[in-house]
A and B are shown apart, each in its own frame.
Chain A
Amino acid sequence: MAVDVGQPRVPAWQRGKVASWLVTVDHKRIGILYIGTAGFFLAIAGFLALLIRTQLAQPDGAVVTGDSYNEVVTMHGTGMVFFVMVPVLAGLGNFLVPLMIGAPDMAFPRLNALSYWLYAFAGLVYCFSFLAAGGAANTGWTAYPPLSLAALGNGQDLWILSIHILTLSSMAGAINFIVTIHNMRTAGMSWMRLPLFVWSIEIYAWLLLLVLPVLSAGLTLLLLERQFPDTFQFFRPEDVAAGGSPVLFQHVFWFFGHPEVYIMVLPVFGIISEVIPVFARKPIFGYKAVAFSTVAIGFFSMLVWAHHMFTVGMPTYLNIWFMLASMVIAVPTGMKIFNWLATLWRGNISLDTPMLFALGFLSVFTMGGLSGIYLAAFPVDWQVHDTYFVVAHFHYVLFGGSMLGLLGGLFYWWPKIFGRMLSERIGKWTFLFVFVGFNLTFFPQHMLGLLGMPRRIYTYRDDGLWHAYNLLSTVGSYVMTVGFLLFLLAIVKSVNGRRAGNDPWQADTLEWYTTSPPPPHNFDDVPYVTSARPLYDLRRRLREAEAT
C-alpha cells in the first residue's frame, strides 16, 4: 500500500493538536486515549485504595467516617474493575490487534471511536456521582438489593447509569474486536498462527458480548425498582409469590461477575504468552494448549457464578455443581502455568523489565489460583467467604495477575506505541517496589480473613494480631504507591528516552515489523505469515540469504 493512497481529505479544523485527537478514528490513537484515560481512573481508584488502607492502619481509624468508607470501598472496586482494567485492556487490544494481525485498522473505525467516547462519558458520570445528593454509591461494587434499593440519594442511580453507558461502550468494542479478528487477518495468518494475545482478546470480546447484556438487564431492573418501588418488585422479598427475591439479583450479577474476572485476566494471559517466549528466545511451549485453554477457561467461566453465593442457602446439589465446575477451571489455568514454565526451560532468559513483570505475574498468580481452591470447596468457603481472605485472593488474581502482567505489557509495547524506550533502570525499581509492596499489602490479608475479619468494615476489634496485619498491609500499600510513582517517572522521562527502532526486543509478531510508532496506515507491506512467529521466520530467512 502506498502512503498517499486512501487518505481522505482532512478539514482544517480537525488538524489541530487537540482537535485531531478528538475526531480521530485511528485505532492507535484510540488505543492511546483508552490507556491514558484508564491511567487517570487508576489514579482515582488507587487514591481510594490508599484511603482504605490508611483508615484501617488503626482499629479505630478516623480518616473517613463509616458512611464515607462505604462509598470509598464501592467506588474503589467499581473504578478498578469497570474504569481501569477492562478499558485499559480494550486500549491495549485496540492498539495491538490490527498491528498483530497485519491489518490497517479495526473493522469499524467510527464505532471504535464511539466506544471510547462512551467510556469517557461513563467515566464522567462516575466522577460526578461523588457530588450526588447523599454522596456516591455506598453498597459495594456488587450493589446487592435490598441494600441498594434502600440506598438514599442519587449516588446509586448515577452508579447504575455510568455502568449502563460503559456496558454499551464495551459491547460496541467487543463486536469490533470480533469482526476485526475474524475478517482482517493478513495473508497466511490462520487461526493456529494467530498471536496468543489476539486469541485472548478474541475470548475477552466474546465474554463481554455474552455476559454484559445480563448485567445491563439486572441493573435496569434495579433502577426501575429504585425509581418505581410501587410498580416493580423484582428483588424485594415482599412479593415472593410473584418471583421477587433478593437472591435473584445475586445470580444475575455473578453470571456477569465471574466471567468479568476472566475478562480482566485472559488478555493478561495473552500478554504473558507474548512476553515470555521473546525474553526466553523460544517459541511458546504448546501453542495449541495455551490457545485452547483460553477458550476452555472462557467457556467454563460462565458455569461457575454461584460459587460467589455459597452462603445464601442453596440446595446441596447446586453447591456441589458450582464447586466441581469451579475446580474444573483450575485445570486449563494450571496447563497455562506449566506451559509458561516449560517455555523458560533451556531458554536464553534476559531479565529485562517486561520479563521481570511476567515472571512476577507467574509467581503470584499461582498463589491466587491456589487460594481459589479453598473458595471453590463450599464448606471451606462458608468459613472464609466475605472475609479478607477473599479480598486477598482476588487481589492476588486481579492485581498480582492482571496489574503486574499489564505493567509488563506496557513496558514491552511502550516503545512500539510511542517510539521511545522506558528506562530499564527505573523500570526495575518500579518492579521491585510494586512487587514487594503488593505482597506486603495482600499476603497478610489471608491471615486477617482466617482470623475472622470480614470485608467492608471501617473499624475493627482491637486485637493485637488484627492490628499488626492491618498495619503491615497499610505499609505495603505505600510501598506499592512508590512503585507507581516510579512508573510515572519512567513515563515522563521516556519523552527524551532512547529511540526504539522497529524491533527493540527482537520479537516475533507482526507489530514489530512496522516503524515505532507505526504510520497511520500501519504497514507499507506485510510479509506472508508462515507460522505463529512471522518475524522469527523472516530473520531466519534473512540469515540464510546472507549465508548463501
Chain B
Amino acid sequence: MPARVRHRALIVVGALVAPLAFAATALAGNGGFAPLAPQSPNAEGIQQSYLFISAFAFAIFLLVEGILIAFVIRYRRRKRPRNMDGAQIHGATKLELAWTVGPVLILFVIAAFVFAKLPTIQDVPAAAAGSENLVVDVTGTQFTWEFRYPNGVVTIDRLRAPQGRTVELRITAPEWDVIHSWWIPALGGKMDAIPGTVNKTWFEAERAGVFQGQCAELCGLYHAKMLASVEVVPASEFDAWYDERRAQQEAGTSTLGEELYEGSCAKCHGLQGEGGYGLRIAGTQLVSDEQAIETLLRRGGILMPPVGRDWGQTEMNALTAYLKENLGG
C-alpha cells in the first residue's frame, strides 16, 4: 500500500471508528440509544421489541452502507475516460427477487416478535387476591394533570403509586378542552387524553422512585410546561398516605390547594401571583372573593380557559383557601 493511500485509509478508518467508539460509550450509559431504562413490565416489553428491531435495523444499515462505500471505492472512475461505459447490465430477476423476499421475511419475524410481546405490553394484569388493581382517573386539561383516586383523593401533576401493584389509568380530557397525551417514559408508552373519550393504560412499578414525564401532544401555549411525574413508594407507605391524604382533604388541610394553584394557575399568573402571560393576581380584590373566583374558574375569562369547570367543591374550596391565605392583600 503506497503511503498516500495508507494515509487516506487511516483517515477513513478513523472517521468510521470515532463515532462507533462514541456510540459504545453512550450506549453503556444509555445515552439515548434505547428507550429509558424500563421500570414496568409494559415498558420492558416495548424495550425488548425496540432492541429486537434494532438488531435487524443495525445489520441492514451496515449492509447497505458497506455495499455503498465498497462500490463507490471499487468502481470509481480512476483514470478511465469519463464517458466510458460501465458494464451494461440491465437487471437480474433472481437477485431482485431475493432482495424482495428477504425483507418480507425479516418484517415477518419482526412482526411475530412484536405480536408475541403485545400481551405483556397491552393487557392489564388481572388483579391478584389481596392486591386489587388501583384504578386512577387521569384528566388532562390545559396545562395540568389531575389524578382522582377511588377514595376521592385528588392530586395534581404528581401521581403517587404503590410499588409492585398494578395501577390502571383511565385517561381523558374534559369535553371543552383539547387533546393531551399521557407519557411517563420509564413506565410505558403514551396514551392520548382525548375530550369525550376514555383511554386505558397501566403500569406496575418495580422499584420506588420518581419518574418524570410530560404531555406529548401539542396542547397550546404551555404545552412545554405540562409536566407529570409518578412517585412510586413502598405499598405500606402508600396505604398510610392514601388514608391520611383523604382525611386531610376532607378537613381542608391537605396540600391540594397549593397543587391546584401550581398546576392550573401559576403557569400564567406566576408562582407568587406576580403575573406573566396572565394578569398579576397577588393582592388583588379578586383573590379574597370566593364567589368571584369560583365564577371565573367555572366560566373562564377572555383568554383564560375555564380550568375549574368540572371541579368538585373540595377542589374549589382548597384553591380559594390557598389563594386567600397566600396571595390575599
* Interface residue ranges, A against B (CB under 8 Å): 66-67, 70, 139-140, 144, 146-147, 150, 152, 236-238, 240, 245-247, 280-283, 285-289, 311-313, 316, 320, 323-324, 327-328, 330-331, 334-335, 337-339, 341-342, 344-351, 359, 362-363, 366-367, 370-371, 373-374, 377-387, 444, 446-452, 454-461, 465, 469, 506
Contacts and interface: CB of A to CB of B under 8 A. Distances in A.
A349 B86 CA distance: 8
A330 B111 CA distance: 13
B179 interface: yes
A540 to B, nearest CB: 9
Contacts of A457: 214, 223-224
Given A282-B86, A387-B216, A380 B53 contact: yes
B84 A348 contact: yes
A362 B224 contact: no
Contact of B45 (A313, A320, A330, A379): A379
A380 B220 CA distance: 26
A367 B61 CA distance: 7
Interface in B93-114: 95-96, 99-100, 103-104, 107, 110-111, 114
Given A147-B179, A313-B197, A331-B104, A379 B122 contact: yes
A229 to B, nearest CB: 12
A282 B89 contact: yes
Contact of B190 (A349, A359, A383): A383
Interface in B33-72: 33-36, 43, 45-46, 49-50, 53, 56-57, 60-61, 64-65, 67-68, 71-72
B83 A341 contact: no
Contacts of A346: 75, 86-87, 89
A237 B67 CA distance: 53
Nearest to A466: B32
Contacts of A359: 68, 72
Given A280-B75, A362-B64, 4 more contacts: A283-B88, A373-B57, A386-B181, A469-B32
Contacts of A139: 218
Contacts of B89: 282-283, 285, 342, 345-346
A460 B215 CA distance: 12
A506 B195 contact: no
Given A152-B303, A506-B83, A465 B192 contact: no
A147 B195 contact: no
B194 interface: yes
Contacts, number: 270
Interface residues of B, number: 87
Contacts of A150: 178, 220
Contacts of B195: 146, 237, 246
B278 interface: no
Contact of B222 (A66, A147, A338, A447): A66
Contacts of A240: 196
Contact of B183 (A367, A380, A450, A454): A454
B293 to A, nearest CB: 23
B189 A311 contact: yes
A350 B77 contact: yes
B212 A452 contact: yes
A428 to B, nearest CB: 15
B68 A380 contact: no
B84 A281 contact: yes
A220 B258 CA distance: 43
B90 interface: yes
Interface string B137-176: 0000000000000000000000000000000000000010
A125 B162 CA distance: 54
Contacts of A328: 107
B8 interface: no
Contact of A70 (B77, B175, B221, B303): B221
A70 to B, nearest CB: 7
A268 to B, nearest CB: 17
Interface of A is mostly: helix
Given A335-B100, A455-B218, A146 B80 contact: no
B75 A348 contact: yes
Contacts of A338: 96, 99
Interface of B: 26, 31-36, 43, 45-46, 49-50, 53, 56-57, 60-61, 64-65, 67-68, 71-72, 75-77, 80, 82-92, 95-96, 99-100, 103-104, 107, 110-111, 114-115, 117-118, 121-122, 175, 177-179, 181, 183, 185, 188-192, 194-197, 199-200, 212-225, 277, 303
A187 to B, nearest CB: 23
B179 A382 contact: no
B189 A379 contact: yes
A449 to B, nearest CB: 8
A363 B100 CA distance: 19
Contacts of A370: 57, 60-61
Contacts of B92: 285-286, 342
B199 A313 contact: yes
Contacts of B107: 327-328, 330-331, 373
B196 A237 contact: yes
A380 B91 contact: no
B87 A458 contact: no
A452 B86 contact: no
A281 B86 contact: yes
The 10 nearest A-B residue pairs measured at CB: A382-B189, A447-B32, A237-B196, A457-B224, A347-B86, A286-B91, A313-B199, A346-B87, A344-B71, A338-B99
Contacts of A345: 71, 75, 87, 89
A341 B92 CA distance: 13
A348 B218 contact: no
Nearest to B303: A152
Contacts of A367: 61
Nearest to B84: A348
Contact of B75 (A339, A349, A378, A452): A349
B234 to A, nearest CB: 25
Nearest to B82: A350
A386 B215 CA distance: 10
A280 B72 CA distance: 10
B177 A379 contact: no
Contact of B90 (A67, A283, A385, A451): A283
B12 to A, nearest CB: 14
Contact of A339 (B31, B65, B96, B103): B96
Contact of A246 (B194, B218, B221): B194
A132 B114 CA distance: 48
Nearest to B103: A334
Given A285-B90, A311-B181, A465-B31, A374 B53 contact: yes
Contacts of B100: 331, 334-335
B197 A331 contact: no
Nearest to A345: B71
Contacts of B104: 331
Among B46, B60, B76, B96, find the residue whose CB has the most chain A CB atoms closer than 10 A.
B96
B219 A380 contact: no
A349 B60 CA distance: 24
A312 B71 contact: no
A382 B188 contact: yes
26 contacts: A66-B225, A144-B218, A147-B219, A246-B195, A280-B75, A280-B86, A331-B107, A334-B103, A351-B76, A363-B68, A366-B61, A366-B65, A373-B110, A377-B53, A379-B49, A379-B117, A379-B121, A379-B122, A382-B191, A383-B35, A385-B216, A450-B36, A452-B214, A454-B216, A465-B32, A469-B32
